[in-house]
Amino acid sequence: MGVPLSVLDLVPVGAASTAGEALRNTVDLARLADRLGYARYWFAEHHSMPSIASSSPEILIGHIASATERIRVGSGGIMLPNHVPLQVAERFHTLEALHPGRIDLGIGRAPGTDPATVQALRPFPAERFSEQLGEMLALSRQEFPEGHPFRSIRVVPSDVALPPIWLLGSSGASARLAGQLGMGYSFASHFSHASPLPAIQVYRESFQPSAQFSEPYMILAVAAICAETEERAEHLASSMDLAWVRIRRGEFGPLPSPEEATAYAYTAVERSIVESYRQLSFVGTPGSVRERIDTMAAATGADEIMVTSTIYSHSERLQSFHLLAMAGDRSPEMSTVPRGVPPT
330 pLDDT band, cuts 50/70/90, is low
Q: Report the domain count for the chain.
A: 1
| Residue range of the domain that includes 86 | 5-227+286-334
312 pLDDT band, cuts 50/70/90, is very high
188 lies in some domain: yes
pLDDT (tens digit per residue) in 157-198: 999 999 999 999 988 889 999 999 999 999 999 999 999 999
14 lies in some domain: yes
Which three-class secondary structure string do you get for 248-284? HCCCCCCECCHHHHHHCCCCHHHHHHHHHHHCCEEEE
57 lies in some domain: yes
271 lies in some domain: no
267 lies in some domain: no
Percent residues over pLDDT 70 in the chain:
95
41-to-67, 194, 247 alpha-carbon distances in Å: 12, 24, 25
151 lies in some domain: yes
pLDDT (tens digit per residue) in 194-215: 999 999 999 999 999 999 999 9
Q: What is the CATH number of the domain that holds 58?
A: 3.20.20.30
Q: Nearest-CA neighbor of 3 among 226, 324, 339, 340?
A: 324
342 lies in some domain: no
246 lies in some domain: no
Quick one: the chain helix, strand, coil %, rounded to 5? 45, 15, 40
Please give the Cα distance from 34 to 77 (Å, whole number). Answer: 20
